[in-house]
């Protein structure tokens, strides 16, 4: 069995209420950053890694997304859509997409970008036979995040938004086996709050810390920062690709 993954589910259904009027007519992942929708950078990064099958899980203003990407970003990228009538959380979105998912797949948030080696994360999940693997990152202040207890590659638990100071946290990128869907309840649920704690109890959740470029555009100040940092990151990535 091949350790690589070729499919990504991108969660793009949130309303982005923390951005106020900026998302009143535009879904958060479609906000313009450096002259193009933020989601376009997420998809381009997947393409660079050879991941060419994408499912966009939409909910809020889905037409804004489908009208831009249609059924493919270009000849090399195939895009499918699932559109929920009512929000069911990240776990519900995962369950709703079940018929379209491969046996192994990536899950990403459409409002964050974490530039990691996706194939390396897939190899971790494959080699440990975990039901899911999380791309982790360091932060200097974990007070706004849930920190992760990592023992080797095994994730043994989470600490929700209490630690002040440096910690290891989730980077919002996961590789999963489709079997994990059997553990999700029907109806609304959360990958982070419902599924992952369950996987730690049965010791089927692994993780690895990566140091790649990261940004979350969920706040006005980080969106403004992204307008400068994201295009700069992308141009540097293209330069590295050309040299290699």
- Mind listing the pLDDT tens digit for each residue in 7-37? 999 999 988 899 999 999 999 999 999 999 9
pLDDT at 86 (0 to 100): 87
Entry pTM: 0.95
- 168 in helix, strand or coil? strand
What stretches of 59-140 adopt beta strand conformation (E)?
78-83, 104-109, 112-114, 132-139
As a whole number of angstroms, the distance between CA 129 and CA 117 comes to 19
Looking at the predicted structure, is the pLDDT value of residue 195 above 90?
A: yes
Backbone angles phi, psi at 102, to 5 degrees: -70, 175
Q: Residue 2: inside a domain, yes or no?
A: no
Domain count within the chain? 1
pLDDT tier at 200, thresholds 50, 70, 90: very high
67: domain CATH number? 3.90.550.10
Provide the domain limits for residue 227. 7-243
Question: Is residue 120 in a domain?
Answer: yes
Residue 1 lies in a domain: no
Residue 201 located in a structural domain: yes
Query: Where residue 162 falls among pLDDT bands split at 50, 70, 90?
Result: low
């Amino acid at each position: 069995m091949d350790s690589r993954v070729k499919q990504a589910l991108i969660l793009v259904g949130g309303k982005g209420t923390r951005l106020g009027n900026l998302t009143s007519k535009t879904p958060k992942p479609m906000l313009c950053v450096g002259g193009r929708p933020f989601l376009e950078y997420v998809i381009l990064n997947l393409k660079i890694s050879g991941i060419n099958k994408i499912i966009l899980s939409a909910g809020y203003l889905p037409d804004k997304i489908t009208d831009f990407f249609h059924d493919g970003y270009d000849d090399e990228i195939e895009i499918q859509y699932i559109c929920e009538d009512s929000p069911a959380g990240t776990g519900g979105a995962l369950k709703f997409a079940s018929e379209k998912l491969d046996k192994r797949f990536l899950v990403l948030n459409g409002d964050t970008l974490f530039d990691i080696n996706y194939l390396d994360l897939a190899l971790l999940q494959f080699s440990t036979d975990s039901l899911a693997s999380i791309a982790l990152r360091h932060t200097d202040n974990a007070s706004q995040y849930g920190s992760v207890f990592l023992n080797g590659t095994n994730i043994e638990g989470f600490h929700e938004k209490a630690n002040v100071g440096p910690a290891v946290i989730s980077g919002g990128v996961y590789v999963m086996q489709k079997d994990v869907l059997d553990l999700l309840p029907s109806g609304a649920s959360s990958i982070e709050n419902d599924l992952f704690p369950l996987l730690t109890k049965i010791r089927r959740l692994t993780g690895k810390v990566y140091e790649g470029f990261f940004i979350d555009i969920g706040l006005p100040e980080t969106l403004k920062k992204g307008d400068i940092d994201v295009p700069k990151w992308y141009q540097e990535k293209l330069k590295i690709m050309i040299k290699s």
